[in-house]
Amino acid sequence: MPTPRLRTAIVAALLALAAAPLGGCGEKPVPAPRAPAVATSATDAGGMAALVAAAKKEGSLNTIALPRDWANYGALIDGFEKKYGIKVEVENPDGTSQDEINALKEHRRDGRAPDVIDVGGSFAQSAARQGLLAPYEVAAFDQIPEEQKDERARWYNNYGGYISIGCDAKRVKTCPSTFADLRKPEYKGQVSLNGNPTKSASAFAGVYAAALANGGSFDDIQPGIDFFAELNRNGNFNPVESSPDTIAKGETPISIDWDFLNLGYADQFREKGADVDWRTAIPFDGSFAEYYANGVNKEAPHPAAARLWQEYVFSPEGQNLRLGAYARPVLMEAMREDGTLDKAAAQNLPTVEGTPTFPTEEQREKARETVNRNWSKAVRS
C-alpha cells in the first residue's frame, strides 16, 4: 500500500500528465507556428488558414517581369486576387530574368523588392547561391520531380516548354521549321530572338537549342553562339527583340521563342483579327526543353503573401491555368495520376518526340558564363 508521501507524488504526476498536450504514444509536441518570414511550409506557419489570414493582412504582393500574355499570368493574377483579395503589383512586366535578380538586390530594404521571382533555371540557381531566396516547401513539393527542384526548396520549376520557331506566313513565303532552314538567304533580316541571351532566359534557351542543332551539347553552348554569329554576318539575324507588338508590326516575322508563347500569340492575333498568320514549329534538329523556376525572396516585403502565391501557382487550379496557355505544368504527370489534370487542355499541346532531358546546374552555369563572355563579341547589334 502506497505511503501518503508516495500517493502525493503519484497524484502530482497524474495532474502533470493531464495538463500536457494530448497526442499519441511517442508523438513529439506540436511546435508553435513560426512567423511567415521564416516559415518553411504552410504547416510551419500554422496551417493554410493561418497563412491565408496573414497574407490577407499584408494585403498585397510585389512581383516583377510577369507579362499577362506569358504562360497565362493574366489569369493567374486575376485568380489569385479574386480568391484571396490580395492586390498583385507587377513592376516592369516586360523585364528579364536578370532584371528580377537585380531587383532582389537593389530594393532589398526599401519595401519595393519583389516578393517572388519567376526566372530561368540558371538564374534561379544563381540567386540561390547568392543567398537571395528563402527555403519554402509548397504542399506539392514532394510531387515535383527531383531534377526539377532545389533539395533545399529555395527554388523549384513551375512550368515550361520547348524552343520553337514562330513565323508569320503572311510575310514569309515558306516558314522555316529547323535551325538549318534559318541559314537560307530568303530569311535575310528576319530571324530574331525574344531578348538578349545574357539577360533573357528564353533567348539563352534559343542559343542552347541552336548549339544542339549544330554539333554542340549541354556541355558546349559555343556552337549556338557561332550559329547566331553566322546569321549575323549573313544578314539573316534581326537584332530587334521580338514581342507581340513587333510581330504585329511586321518587324520580327520569324521569332525563336518558347512554344507556349508562340502558340499563345497565334491565339491572340486571331482573337484580335490582326493581319498576322502566326505559325509554330518545334525544330527536330535542336530540340530543347526547359522550365521556369519560382522562388521566394529571402527578405520579401510581404512574406505571407509570397508563400501563399507559391501555394496557388503550384495548386491544381494554378497548374491547369498554365496548361490553358500551352505551358507544360511541372506537376502534369502527378495531376494526370490523381485526376486533377485538365485533359482537354493537355490535348492541345503540340506533339514532341522522346523524353526531354535537361542540363545540370553545373552545365547551365558553364553555358551561362560562356554566353556572357562571348555573345556581344560574336553578335553585334
pLDDT (tens digit, 0 to 9) for every residue of the chain, 381 residues total?
Answer: 444 443 444 334 433 433 444 444 455 565 688 999 999 999 999 999 999 999 999 999 999 999 999 999 999 999 999 999 999 999 999 999 999 999 999 998 888 999 999 999 889 999 999 999 999 999 999 999 998 999 999 999 999 999 999 999 999 999 999 999 999 999 999 999 999 999 999 999 999 999 999 999 999 999 999 999 999 999 999 999 999 999 999 999 999 999 999 999 999 999 999 999 999 999 999 999 999 999 999 999 999 999 999 999 999 999 999 999 999 999 999 999 999 999 999 999 998 877 888 898 899 999 999 999 999 999 976
Distance between alpha carbon 275 and the CA centroid of its chain, in Å?
Answer: 31
- Containing 94, the helix (H) or strand (E) segment is none
Do residues 269 and 248 lie in contact, with contact meaning Cβ atoms separated by under 8 Å? yes
Distance between alpha carbon 212 and the CA centroid of its chain, in Å?
Answer: 22
- Rounded (10°) angle between helices 222-234 and 201-213: 90
Q: Which three cell numbers stand for residue 245?
A: 507588338
pLDDT at position 5 is 43
Q: Tell me the CA distances in angstroms from 279 to 166, 176, 208, 282, one per residue in order.
A: 6, 10, 22, 10
Q: Which three cell numbers stand for residue 291?
A: 522550365
Distance between alpha carbon 338 and the CA centroid of its chain, in Å?
Answer: 23
Q: Which three cell numbers stand for residue 152?
A: 533545399
- Containing 233, the helix (H) or strand (E) segment is helix 222-234
Kindly compute the dihedral angle of the four CA atoms of residues 316, 164, 350, 96, in this order, to the nearest 10 degrees.
Answer: 10
CB count within 10 Å of CB 118 equals 24
Q: Which three cell numbers stand for residue 175?
A: 516558314
Return contacts of 143-147, CB within 8 angstroms, 24+ apart: 143/331, 143/334, 144/314, 144/330, 144/331, 145/330, 147/358
pLDDT at position 109 is 82
pLDDT at position 30 is 57
